Chains A and B, each alone.
Chain A
């Protein structure tokens, strides 16, 4: 149990286009989901906390208008990178909360912006 999926697993896009990444909790309902960004050989950096039915809470320094988050249901949250640029290239990982503390992570999405 506690499986979190992400789609797509990798994406290559041209600079200026928008990319949507889906995060799904497959076998449990998650009122809270989290989005992280990870650069090579670095730790995970929390971008935002997504709560079902309400606006996401963004970490300091994360552009809300660039990284649009929607948590439309208890099993789905989406991250849209708008007008992507090469510096947005990274590994994006979501997690879903289950129980009082535990987060289960998705497999990640590799974004490359040309």
Chain B
């Protein structure tokens, strides 16, 4: 059962534009929602993460918006750059103590000049 749904599967954005990736979860026990960035042939790198007691978290050009009642969260990349071209995974885990991370299906972002 897919517990974290991610969309879109792929995204093309012009340089300087805003990239938006959406995720939805089902398990209300999840209490930690990280986003990972993965370049081809590399392992995922933690980008930004949020907990459900916060509706928004911003780090540089990256912002997570969180809607607890709708069980949805999204990643916004402002002023998208060609170097942001990568695959992005949302994820969720619950309960603390290195709980298993459930990954979304991934979004391949391409930022064109």
Binding site for B on A (CB under 8 A): 4, 6, 31-32, 34, 41-44, 46, 49, 91, 93, 95, 97, 100-108, 110
Contacts and interface: CB of A to CB of B under 8 A. Distances in A.
A83 B19 CA distance: 44
Contacts of A6: 43
A33 to B, nearest CB: 9
Contact of A42 (B34, B41, B101, B106): B106
Contact of B46 (A34, A44, A100, A102): A102
Contacts of B89: 43-44
Given A46-B101, A107-B42, A102 B106 contact: no
Contact of B43 (A32, A46, A105): A105
A107 B36 CA distance: 13
Nearest to B10: A41
B103 interface: yes
Contact of A108 (B42, B93, B101): B42
Contact of B34 (A32, A97, A102, A107): A102
Nearest to A103: B101
Of listed A31, A44, A46, residue having the most chain B CB within 10 A? A44
Interface in B69-113: 89, 93, 96-101, 103-106, 108
